[in-house]
Structure 1
């Protein structure tokens, strides 16, 4: 018997299948950009034909953490900043599952920043969506890692003296093989980017600009936006690491000057994922580890035995 018989069954999916019966209506604040993430994710999953049983959505703490309450699939609501390690373990145990991790800018770039860097470095095969509203929203408006210099908040009443973190550049230098930025005000592009990220074999990072009308009223609403891949004003090769880095630097500097640049900034289709690397050197089995729970004939191993045998 297979624990994952729904994977790859190829049936037609209706978008309302991703709407949970227990909590069908999202309760984010009116005007919140998080609604745009949910809509884009549902549209992407439907277009790719992914059933709820084929997907795992892990989230951290914050407004973004409610995403898997409003998206009906396998889900794991982790503690603050820890959506990525849970997602990594799940993908390694069962490569057939479509794994998506999500978190806010404070959750993903601050508290979970170490996991972000190393998940990118190892190129784990998953999609990571970071809701970037440049503020800690759920805890009522504190300065976050992406808040612009000079931004006043409860924790920085005289204005932040720190330059904001540059998530696109950090992602690239850490080793992500797909890096993109989109915005809640651009739902069509957002859906297309999530589709590409889910199809990508490797770590796909999406910096998703989500306006916060409640706790970050001073922030721009990320309009008008410019798609750097479509605009004649920007000419760069997203498969060229140096050109991608230069475009990211320009993008991150322009955001707080009133120009919102979105699009695909870096794509490396040739680099193998972490799981592929581990299977190639024989350190991971080809079959999903989770299947072993349903195999009565499987002889279980203990990793400790590998060490104990060396000392006998």
Structure 2
């Protein structure tokens, strides 16, 4: 019998299974956009046929980090900016696990920016949800990497002198194979995008606009919004990197002009994931390491023993 017999178990899945019994009620501020992420994620999981036992959710530090406490699955609450390396290790050790990482804009694009770039570059098979509210919320309202130029905060009382990071463009340039933006005020689209991202084989990056009514009243509710896939004003090929890049630049510019554009911006279904590439060249075993080392009869190997030194 498999040590991970819950993986690929075929049964009906209800979204209520993803509500934990110990701490089911989130303690985010009233009106926080993080509620929208939690709801969309709970709705998306049954759509892709994954159970709590088949899912790992890694979170960083910040308001977004509480997500793993309010979502029933395996969870790992990492340190600031480090949800991605933990998620990568888990996926490499147990490829059958559905791995989701989550963090805020400060956690993901600031402290963890290096991990974000290289996880996208290597195309690890996981979903990365970034709660983007343009502010550091949990630490009480400091300027973040996505705060607009001129935004006044505790750390920039005269207004930020820096242009905000362009997360969609950065993701595309780094090598992500699924890039999308949605918003807490658009729950139906959010559920659909998260389901697509989770089903995608490769690194799927979802920039999730989450309003912060307590510490960032400038961003308001991210409304009105326009779904670029539903609008006649926008026509581009999501599989074409050049067209996607131009569209992303327009989307990122208009956000700070008061126009919120959401949707799918780039999808590459052909590029193999990091794990697939490694297995194809023989640098990763076909049998998951997590499965192997759960077996009492398995012979343990040290990586140093597998190396050949030449003098």
TM-score, shorter chain, exceeding 0.5: yes
1:214 corresponds in structure 2 to 214
CA contact (8 A) 1:125 1:203 kept: yes
1:63 corresponds in structure 2 to 63
CA shift for structure 1 position 86: 0.3
CA contact (8 A) 1:132 1:146 kept: yes
TM-score w.r.t. the length of structure 2 is 0.98
1:238 corresponds in structure 2 to 238
CA contact (8 A) 1:84 1:119 kept: yes
For residues 70-116 of structure 1, give each alpha carbon's deviation from its aligned partner in whole angstroms, at most 9, with x where no partner exists: 00000000000000000000000011000000000000000000000
Q: Write the mapping of 1:285-304 to structure 2, written as runs, cut at 5 A.
A: 285-304=285-304
- Secondary structure, aligned partner of 1:239: coil
- Secondary structure, aligned partner of 2:229: coil
1:5 corresponds in structure 2 to 5
CA distance in 1, matches of 2:201, 2:48: 15
2:309 corresponds in structure 1 to 310
CA distance in 1, matches of 2:134, 2:244: 23
- Secondary structure, aligned partner of 1:211: coil
Q: Write the mapping of 1:81-92 to structure 2, written as runs, cut at 5 A.
A: 81-92=81-92
1:45 corresponds in structure 2 to 45
Q: Write the mapping of 1:1-312 to structure 2, written as runs, cut at 5 A.
A: 1-307=1-307, 309-310=308-309
- Secondary structure, aligned partner of 2:56: strand
For residues 143-189 of structure 1, give each alpha carbon's deviation from its aligned partner in whole angstroms, at most 9, with x where no partner exists: 00000000000000000000000000000000000000000000000
- Secondary structure, aligned partner of 2:219: coil
- Secondary structure, aligned partner of 1:294: coil
CA distance in 2, matches of 1:121, 1:310: 29
CA contact (8 A) 2:56 2:75 kept: yes
CA distance in 1, matches of 2:160, 2:220: 17
CA distance in 1, matches of 2:245, 2:196: 20
CA distance in 2, matches of 1:175, 1:218: 32
CA distance in 2, matches of 1:164, 1:296: 52
CA distance in 2, matches of 1:115, 1:294: 29
CA shift for structure 1 position 219: 1.4
CA distance in 1, matches of 2:46, 2:38: 12
Number of equivalent positions:
311
For residues 203-232 of structure 1, give each alpha carbon's deviation from its aligned partner in whole angstroms, at most 9, with x where no partner exists: 000000000000001213111110111100
CA distance in 2, matches of 1:276, 1:34: 33
Which deviates the most, 297-306 or 176-185? 297-306
CA distance in 2, matches of 1:223, 1:196: 23
Which deviates the most, 86-95 or 213-222? 213-222
CA distance in 2, matches of 1:174, 1:150: 28
Give the gaps of 5 or more residues in structure 2.
none
CA shift for structure 1 position 311: 5.3
TM-score w.r.t. the length of structure 1 is 0.98
- Secondary structure, aligned partner of 2:182: strand
CA contact (8 A) 1:220 1:258 kept: no
CA shift for structure 1 position 4: 1.0
